[in-house]
Structure 1
Amino acid sequence: MTLVYFVRHAHSTYTPDELGRPLSEKGFLQAQDVRHILKDYKFDVVLSSPYKRAVQTVEGVAKDRDLEVEVLDGFKERRLAGEPVKDFDSAIQQVWRDEFLSLPGGESNHAAQKRGVNTLNQVLNQYRGKSIVIGTHGNIMTLIMQYFDSRFDFDFWKTLAMPDVLKLEFEDNNLLRVNRLWEDQIQ
């Protein structure tokens, strides 16, 4: 059994700098909550999207276990468009309705999912039987999960908290179970 703990990044104040956008003050407090939720779990490796807000959300989890955060480009958020869109809600609904639609300069759901799933499969093969934390983003995380189980769709994505923590149990590269740890802790 391989355990994957997907951690959607904590709150960050929007800027167009996707790579360098840090957590907000609220986000740093939420990252401490993530650290607390995961304090009793054993991890063999901590991975993250290269985006600063994702790394910052899981670096405390890594520090508590004397691990380094390994950055993997495949877990970065999907690029919705080359430039900020005027109506985010409308744009995100469009790309979820048509998995092959890509807005100018953007990445379709299909392309983003393929990138994310390829990366996750490499991780599952490399760390088979291990426990893995992955700092990532809501859209790419949902697209990866949807590949394994169609229940994880646009409506599921809308229910995600920021941050959120989901435990996925894999046997080989087959998803067996998903449990949401964040909700369990915040009720």
Structure 2
Amino acid sequence: MTTVYFVRHCEPNYNNHDDLTRELSPKGLQDCQLVTDFLSDKEVDIVLSSPLKRTIDTLKPFAQSQNLTIETVADFRERKIDDVWIEDFDSFTAKQWEDFSFKLENGESLQEVQNRNIAALQKCLQDYSEKTIVIGSHGTALSTILHYYSENFGLNDFLRIKPLMPHIVCLEFDEFTLLSLKEYTLYKG
């Protein structure tokens, strides 16, 4: 059995609109300890992450405590919305969940995000079979993975987990077959 813990990053600094360099807020930095505490007894073999700063920084204290390195995987990154900041994020998000192929001119559809995240996950399942893996992730990216394994997972589920930072989802696999899925809410308000 291969166990994968997807860790949605802690609270970011929303004043930084650059997706690549958006750091954690002071609360987010503090909440990294929740992630470390949760994962500390899980016998983790490898730590992977989206290349975005907020996911790496969320996992850094845990990885250091276990003497593990964090390997970045570009395909686990968050969706690209567009080249500009979107003020009406809720309406945009609803459109994307209604139509998985909808995207802005310079952005990605949820289908594209799901395709690259699932391909990256399947490569991990192949490369790290029978291991315990931690993957630093994002709300939308993780939601598309959950939708892949349960088509009933939709907009309302995304909205439910949207404020949960950090949030952990554990998936257990027999080769490529999902055996179980469990959510852990670490968010402390």
**What's the TM-score, normalizing by structure 1?**
0.95
The answer for the alignment partner of 2:181 in structure 1 is: 178
Identity in percent: 36
Shift of 1:181: 2.3
SS in 2 for 1:181: strand
The answer for the alignment partner of 1:5 in structure 2 is: 5
Measured in 2, the distance between the counterparts of 1:101 and 1:182 equals 30
Measured in 2, the distance between the counterparts of 1:94 and 1:167 equals 28
SS in 2 for 1:33: helix
Within-5 A mapping of 1:63-82: 63-82=64-83
Aligned residues: 186
The answer for the alignment partner of 2:128 in structure 1 is: 127
Shift of 1:63: 1.2
Moved more, 57-66 or 150-159: 150-159
Measured in 2, the distance between the counterparts of 1:51 and 1:34 equals 17
Opposite residue 11 of structure 1, the aligned amino acid is E
The answer for the alignment partner of 1:60 in structure 2 is: 61
Deviations 1:38-62 (A, max 9, x none): 1111100000000000000011121
Please report the RMSD computed on the Cα atoms of aligned residues, expressed in angstroms: 1.5
Opposite residue 18 of structure 1, the aligned amino acid is D
Moved more, 42-51 or 146-155: 146-155
- Contact preservation (8 Å) 1:80, 1:92: no
Deviations 1:98-126 (A, max 9, x none): 01111121100111110111111001100
Shift of 1:153: 2.0
Measured in 2, the distance between the counterparts of 1:96 and 1:121 equals 23
- Contact preservation (8 Å) 1:164, 1:182: yes
Within-5 A mapping of 1:1-187: 1-14=1-14, 15-160=16-161, 161-182=164-185
The unaligned stretches of length 5 or more in structure 2 are none
Deviations 1:113-167 (A, max 9, x none): 1011111100110001100000110100110121122132222111211110111
Measured in 2, the distance between the counterparts of 1:153 and 1:67 equals 34
Shift of 1:18: 0.6
